[in-house]
Structure 1
């Protein structure tokens, strides 16, 4: 029977990779430095290869194979932790630690509702949130550093298990008093005549919005790229140009007094589908599906609030 590495050995290896220091890693693992070093040497002997180049006490360099083994070890440790959580939970859903990643164009508009709902309904769940762009979230999920991610599709996620929790379009945001505020909805071809402000490359909302509005990837009238929707909104309020925002963001980013007016777009496709994803064969898949149900509820509430904001202002004869 093949001899396998122990979880303790893998934990030593991953901790050294995270700290790049044997002493600090030993302190985190609550063992002596000699014990930690011996554990890693045993792992290297078991695998038959060198994982770390010990150049000095202060310089720890991983071999290429060592870096690959670290990522695999992270995933194994995460799955082992999830297995323990699932066993301890038994018939009790959503308890223990759960590491959730979310993209920045969803997080501010869904997470506050979600956290409140989970605290009320599942008080034994300890939720850790990480907000990153889609590419980083996928790396962290595959490496076992996140349990689930909430992101927007389409995106290259392979065959990962997923539950779709909502679908939304984008609206155009413009400064108060802009000529297009006189319209109840904005024709797509009018955007070609405006200075556009967009999120920088790497934000999937940029691609989703441009695809939904049939805009070219390289726009001659694109004057500014930002790292966040809030920055774009401030630029719009300052009269610099127009931008595209997801409908779910309307109550936060285009609230009264923001200096920004929003309008629906004529003929735009649905921009994106929100989905919760996790690794295949996860022992907590049942919990993740339940979490997706809760997210679907709070996402629906957020979208309904956005629609109410729009329709109420229209009924009052004040187009925001």
Structure 2
């Protein structure tokens, strides 16, 4: 039996199987709906099976055979992508796809500069990026949706490897007219009577609360924000102080108001920025190049005034 199908058709099928509709798959992979529909029909004819049940109101539902076919199709695509790595190793060149995740709070300060310099050094690598919170990034690594993620060393599972890049101690963010703005350092006991603008993101929230809890204190949370820029704006406009680890190059809020960044006094655990990847015995040439590039970039650039991680 001579099978006549393309990896492109398999990619379209997987996209529809994961999305649940041709229209949504079309938006995600930027391919027209008629092209996707034709590819699926050709696969069904070629293999002689029905992959989907067409439901007018609810889109497409995988048949039992379609679900099994989807599992094998994903494996086929993974093996096909692996051929890029094999080719790179054979030719000793760095080329092929690379999918990188980045923590949502870190991305505005790191991703653009890091990606531009990496693609400049390795023009035959095409990068896709995924910006998300810590929990979702770790899940995407486990599901092989991203090859690596720039993130924190918080709640890293055993099956994920974490390669540290830099340590980020906590600091206090204040408006220019805050009563504590003229201090050289601030003790956490001095903060409990002042309202706090909490950065309310998974894991980050727990980390900042732990700074108080380890000394038996509780912060006075006046406002919350799920975006670093919003938190900086609220602090600059006098809604309270903020705690953060990522320190931008300038001391201004998004709308141009002055901010003060004051070190937090005491022996508090810094968060560590690093590269999270699946724990495997094989690392592709593209991934090795990206990891080396990250280490070099963090050594040579003053990202957030970060300390280089040496342990």
Matches within 5 A, 1:154-169: 154-169=154-169
Structure 1 residue 212: deviation in Å? 4.4
Cα offsets for 1:213-240 (capped at 9, x unmatched) = 5469995611211121110000001000
Are the structure 2 counterparts of residues 65 and 300 from structure 1 closer, same or farther at C-alpha, using a change threshold of 3 Å? farther
Cα offsets for 1:2-41 (capped at 9, x unmatched) = xxxx978864542222443358697455844432334676
Higher mean C-alpha deviation, range 11-20 or range 299-308: 299-308
Structure 1 residue 164: deviation in Å? 1.7
> What is the CA–CA distance in structure 1 between the aligned matches of 2:216 and 2:34, rounded to whole Å?
50
Kept in 1, the 8 Å contact 2:103–2:150? The answer is yes
Calculate the aligned-residue CA RMSD, in Å: 3.7
Kept in 1, the 8 Å contact 2:151–2:274? The answer is yes
Kept in 2, the 8 Å contact 1:152–1:274? The answer is yes
Structure 1 residue 295: deviation in Å? 1.4
User: Counterpart of 2:148?
Assistant: 148
Kept in 2, the 8 Å contact 1:149–1:278? The answer is yes
Whether 1:205 and 2:204 are equivalent positions in the alignment is yes
Structure 1 residue 166: deviation in Å? 1.7
User: Counterpart of 2:108?
Assistant: 108
User: Counterpart of 1:34?
Assistant: 41
**SS in structure 1 at match of 2:247:** helix
Structure 1 residue 267: deviation in Å? 0.8
TM-score normalised per structure 2: 0.77
Structure ranking higher in helix proportion: 1
Are the structure 2 counterparts of residues 147 and 169 from structure 1 closer, same or farther at C-alpha, using a change threshold of 3 Å? same
> What is the CA–CA distance in structure 2 between the aligned matches of 1:240 and 1:152, rounded to whole Å?
27
TM-score normalised per structure 1: 0.75
**SS in structure 2 at match of 1:140:** helix
User: Counterpart of 1:196?
Assistant: 196
Are the structure 2 counterparts of residues 126 and 199 from structure 1 closer, same or farther at C-alpha, using a change threshold of 3 Å? same
> What is the CA–CA distance in structure 2 between the aligned matches of 1:205 and 1:57, rounded to whole Å?
41
**SS in structure 1 at match of 2:261:** strand
Are the structure 2 counterparts of residues 150 and 263 from structure 1 closer, same or farther at C-alpha, using a change threshold of 3 Å? same
User: Counterpart of 2:29?
Assistant: none
**SS in structure 1 at match of 2:268:** coil
> What is the CA–CA distance in structure 2 between the aligned matches of 1:281 and 1:118, rounded to whole Å?
23
Cα offsets for 1:154-196 (capped at 9, x unmatched) = 2232222332222211210011021212210000111211111
Structure 1 residue 289: deviation in Å? 3.3
User: Counterpart of 1:130?
Assistant: 130
User: Counterpart of 2:287?
Assistant: 288
Structure 1 residue 296: deviation in Å? 2.3
Structure 1 residue 197: deviation in Å? 0.8
Whether 1:231 and 2:238 are equivalent positions in the alignment is no
Cα offsets for 1:260-311 (capped at 9, x unmatched) = 1110000142331122122344754443233222212323445466379xxx
User: Counterpart of 1:245?
Assistant: 244
Are the structure 2 counterparts of residues 273 and 8 from structure 1 closer, same or farther at C-alpha, using a change threshold of 3 Å? same
**SS in structure 2 at match of 1:251:** coil
Paired residues, number = 293
> What is the CA–CA distance in structure 2 between the aligned matches of 1:302 and 1:243, rounded to whole Å?
25
Are the structure 2 counterparts of residues 65 and 146 from structure 1 closer, same or farther at C-alpha, using a change threshold of 3 Å? farther
